[in-house]
Amino acid sequence: MKVGFVSLGCPKNLVDSEVMMGQLVARGHELTPHPDQAEVLVVNTCSFIDPAKKESIDTILEMAEYKKVGRARKLIVAGCLVERYRGDIRKELPEVDALVGTNELESIVALCEGEPSARNGIEPYLYHDLTPRVLATPRHFAYIKIAEGCDHPCTFCVIPQYRGAFRSRRFESVISEATRLFSQGVREINLIGQDTTCYGEDLGLRDGLADLLARLAAIETPHQKWIRFLYAYPNKVTQKLLDTMAANPSLVKYIDMPLQHSSAAVLKRMKRGASGDIFLKLLERIRRTIPGVAIRTSLITGFPGETAADFEELCQFIETARFDNLGVFTYSDEDTSSSYRLDAKVDGRTMQNRKRRLMAIQRKIARARNRSLVGAETSVLVEGHSRETDLLWEGRQPTQAPEIDGVTMINDFEGAEPRAGEIRRLRITESHDYDVVGTLLAPTERFTPLAGAPLINISPVPAC
């Protein structure tokens, strides 16, 4: 049977799609990137904020058309939208033939084959190192989900309602999966979860993430490797974690740590605690421990009760903090979130204006930062030819995470022609607001090009 997948949402959802594709391929089914050739279409949805919900429904309706014009006989909807709106989907989207919740990934084969699903969707699910999985990312980088669910009480967030309580994967399961991925030629592994810094707490581990990173860094590989983790929770960033990152060259000097706001009053209403001053001290400790570290954060504008003074404080905070990468989202008033019941809602135009203002401040910071890099040398993971033109190659520095940060364009090279998956030195010769351009230097290690291409279509949406 030919099955077509569309995966929406964040990298955590992408791994779920890869697990479902792995099950199907393990049972002899074929994956196709062409929806008009698929007999079964699967849309893995996201639903944590309004724009994500809208994109999910639009994509479901778009794929439903292939049941009229293509070979598709069945349309299956999976993921977070199912967890939140299972009943509504059944009632309002008759085009949909079956539903797969986030704890029912292993029922995908039965549902595609028209058999009843054995999974009840109640048992919390988390894949492991023996779970069949098809990588949907380019062959040189991969995500590993090290935990699922979340126990934090952030009032604007509905993710714990449908991803469940926090649970870590077994230590050795992650190590064995990473070892296998590196042996298959993967150069960069990105560890993900709703909150990676809680890793191991439910297994009785103190500083579980630091210990896991140290073990991953010790994995023997015939080539350079990069290990990154995303989604750190600020008050879980320990000194041991920072020291471990500073001590291991293959742990990239990069921290993604959503802070959401800097006003103590707003953070209190978000049930996240802390304040801008506390965060500035944390940033100072991070930069002191890991020289040259890149720090990314995410912020929300328009949270209920955010005053003009709170917002001015936030503007001042990012001027001072000087993040390397920043994502800004407008508050989404989710009807099942506890912030939905808060007063002093901020109107949509004000939210958008505040988002634009923060991004304008950040653009200046990013431009100045990139300008200061001209002439410097850095490492680059070559991604392949640029998406814009074959005359350029595209790569990423350790300070640039996949899909969410700027890129490094390669317009010249010394020695061998650039190849996807190579890690080489580069001299930065030109800068733009979010991207830089440079010359790739001659290779310093032998490199075996990686065969094979991604299998499904992806469209990124914002991270939690």
Footprint on this chain of ligand SF4 (rule: CB under 6 A): 150, 152, 154, 157, 159-160, 194-195, 233, 464
135 by Cβ neighbours in 10 Å (0-12 / 13-18 / 19+) ranks as buried
Give the residue with the Cβ less far from ligand SF4, 329 or 447: 329
CB 55 within 8 A of CB 81: no
Give the residue with the Cβ less far from ligand SF4, 29 or 163: 163
Give the residue with the Cβ less far from ligand SF4, 233 or 323: 233
Task: Supply the minimum distance, in Å, between the C-beta of residue 80 and ligand SF4.
Answer: 12
Give the residue with the Cβ less far from ligand SF4, 80 or 82: 80
Classify strands 294-301 and 325-330 as parallel, antiparallel or unpaired. parallel
Task: Supply the minimum distance, in Å, between the C-beta of residue 159 and ligand SF4.
Answer: 4
Task: Supply the minimum distance, in Å, between the C-beta of residue 156 and ligand SF4.
Answer: 7
Q: How far is CA 44 from the centre of its chain?
A: 15
Task: Supply the minimum distance, in Å, between the C-beta of residue 437 and ligand SF4.
Answer: 35
Task: Supply the minimum distance, in Å, between the C-beta of residue 337 and ligand SF4.
Answer: 10
CB 6 within 8 A of CB 59: yes
- 79-96 core/surface letters (b: 16 or more CB in 10 A; e: else): bbbbbbbeeebeeebeeb
Task: Supply the minimum distance, in Å, between the C-beta of residue 377 and ligand SF4.
Answer: 36
Task: Supply the minimum distance, in Å, between the C-beta of residue 195 and ligand SF4.
Answer: 5
* 232 CB-near residues (< 8 Å, 6+ apart): 195, 196, 197, 255, 256, 257
* 222 CB-near residues (< 8 Å, 6+ apart): none
* 115 CB-near residues (< 8 Å, 6+ apart): none
* Six-digit token string for 252: 């990239």
* 152 CB-near residues (< 8 Å, 6+ apart): 160, 195, 233, 272
Task: Supply the minimum distance, in Å, between the C-beta of residue 454 and ligand SF4.
Answer: 27
Give the residue with the Cβ less far from ligand SF4, 149 or 398: 149
Task: Supply the minimum distance, in Å, between the C-beta of residue 111 and ligand SF4.
Answer: 27
CA 218 vs CA 196, 221, 224, 226: distances in Å: 19, 9, 12, 12
Give the residue with the Cβ less far from ligand SF4, 235 or 316: 235
Give the residue with the Cβ less far from ligand SF4, 104 or 334: 334
CA distance 386 to 459: 17
CA distance 359 to 298: 11
Q: Among residues 19, 5, 7, which one has the least CA distance to residue 55?
A: 7
65 by Cβ neighbours in 10 Å (0-12 / 13-18 / 19+) ranks as middle
Task: Supply the minimum distance, in Å, between the C-beta of residue 160 and ligand SF4.
Answer: 5
Task: Supply the minimum distance, in Å, between the C-beta of residue 268 and ligand SF4.
Answer: 14
Give the residue with the Cβ less far from ligand SF4, 119 or 152: 152
**φ and ψ of 164, to 5 deg:** 80, -170
CA distance 29 to 36: 17
CA distance 337 to 258: 19
Give the residue with the Cβ less far from ligand SF4, 10 or 63: 10
CA 63 vs CA 36, 43, 93, 178: distances in Å: 9, 8, 12, 34
**Helical segments of 151-201, H only:** 159-163, 171-183
Give the residue with the Cβ less far from ligand SF4, 267 or 437: 267
Give the residue with the Cβ less far from ligand SF4, 273 or 415: 273
204 by Cβ neighbours in 10 Å (0-12 / 13-18 / 19+) ranks as exposed
